[in-house]
Amino acid sequence: MAAPEHPRMSDVAHRAGVSLSTVSRALRGAPGVSPAVRARVERAAAELSYVVSRDASSLVTGATGRVAVIVPFLRPWFFGAALAGISPELRAAGLDMLVYEVGDAEALDGYVQALPLRRNVDAVIAVSLDLDDRETKQLDDIGVPVVYCSQRAEGRPSVFIDNVAAAAAGTRHLLNLGHRRVAYVQSRDETGFSWGSLHRRDGYLQAMAEAGAEPLVVTDRAGQRGGAAAMARLLGAPSPPTAVFAESDDVAFGALAVLRRSRVPVPEAVSLLGFDDNDVAAVLDLTTVAQPVHELGAEAARLTARLLRGTADRAEHLRLPTELVVRRSTSVPRTSPGMHLHSHTDLRGRQ
């Protein structure tokens, strides 16, 4: 009997001469299968190069009642908001939430390799890990469904925003106000995660190219510190920008702190645009590209529950909308070119 090219669980059942549910139970280590039958099923699966995850959506019995949520970090606002979206939806589906903070790409590798996920959880929600192809394939093999939250993963269940289009729209907001020297601040830290930063940069570059404007990308550390350092560099540039697009609100806050300390008026001398609409953006009157983080989490959890019930497509993609929230940190540029020409009066006015 020739092995089928894309073996299914039914092929394994046929070859081993057992029922589908016996294959399912045997391969996920559930009780009620004799050692002899288990060995037969495992041999048949191995002979067919059958990968358990291929039919993970058939493993709908919720053997553990737990879902693992993997996040790179726990402290930033984004992950609290995502977990707050995930938690009640898992609860509603009768699922407990295990949370793993992997910190960097290496820890993720360790997590995927070391944890006996097959016995530990029924599914995994990967939040904003920005995994590359190799890592995504690695996750394909852990034996339970993996739902991607805040990342588009081709052929896998995922819930995401269109970072490219959202960042292009944000950049056009600045261009349409009349800015030409628009800088983009992105972070690139040691963790190996890019946080959608690169897609947003692509959107920025696209909008700048469409407008025939010269792009200026500054890369620094993540978070407020990176934003502060990047803004300091921009203030020292030969021709400072009149508008700055920060990849996240947090980066924008760091930039804003430097602008305030330097008494550079915002938005009169420099317009500042963030990304997220986090819980403090409104207080700081920051114009920003809002993404629905809570809803990204909630939708990912609902999709997970549906996958475990067998009522979702295993390649389901769900794109949620973003929205430009205009506040007082962006405006038309001065007619005079940039920060060099502030009058003393203007500066005093910002103390």
Are 300 and 129 in contact, with CB atoms under 8 Å apart?
A: no
Verify binding: residue 66, a copy of itself, rule CB under 8 A.
yes
- For the bound state, the minimum distance from the C-beta of residue 311 to a copy of itself, rounded and expressed in Å, comes to 25
Q: Judged by CB under 8 A, how many residues of this single chain contact a copy of itself?
A: 38
Verify binding: residue 351, a copy of itself, rule CB under 8 A.
yes
Verify binding: residue 137, a copy of itself, rule CB under 8 A.
no
Task: Rule CB under 8 A: choose which of 145, 203, 254, 274 binds a copy of itself.
Answer: 254
> Which 276-335 residues touch a copy of itself, going by CB under 8 A?
279-280, 282-285, 294
Q: Residue 247 corresponds to which tokens in the numbers above?
A: 């990849």
- For the bound state, the minimum distance from the C-beta of residue 276 to a copy of itself, rounded and expressed in Å, comes to 13
- For the bound state, the minimum distance from the C-beta of residue 226 to a copy of itself, rounded and expressed in Å, comes to 13
Q: What is the 3-state secondary structure (H, E, C) of 128-192?
A: CCCCCHHHHHHHHCCCCCEEEECCCCCCCCEEECCHHHHHHHHHHHHHHCCCCCEEEEEECCCCC
User: Phi/psi at 330 (nearest 5 deg)?
Assistant: -130, 145
Residues 57 and 309: their CA atoms lie apart, in Å, by 8
Residues 185 and 195: their CA atoms lie apart, in Å, by 13
Burial of 302 (0-12, 13-18, 19+ CB in 10 A): buried
Verify binding: residue 30, a copy of itself, rule CB under 8 A.
no
- For the bound state, the minimum distance from the C-beta of residue 67 to a copy of itself, rounded and expressed in Å, comes to 10
> Which 79-98 residues touch a copy of itself, going by CB under 8 A?
79-81, 83-84, 87-88, 96-98
Verify binding: residue 74, a copy of itself, rule CB under 8 A.
yes
Stretch that binds a copy of itself, among 6-14, 191-199, 331-339, 343-351 (CB under 8 A): 343-351
> Which 191-210 residues touch a copy of itself, going by CB under 8 A?
none
Helix (H) / strand (E) element for 101: namely strand 96-101
Spell out, one character per residue from 145 to 174, where the chain touches a copy of itself: x when CB under 8 A holds, - when not. Answer: ------------------------------
List the alpha helices (DSSP H) in the chain.
Answer: 9-16, 20-27, 35-47, 77-92, 105-114, 117-120, 133-140, 163-176, 197-210, 223-235, 249-261, 293-309, 344-348
- For the bound state, the minimum distance from the C-beta of residue 190 to a copy of itself, rounded and expressed in Å, comes to 17
Residues 191 and 105: their CA atoms lie apart, in Å, by 6
Residues that bind a copy of itself (CB under 8 A): 66, 73-77, 79-81, 83-84, 87-88, 96-101, 103, 120, 224, 250, 253-254, 256-257, 260, 279-280, 282-285, 294, 348-349, 351
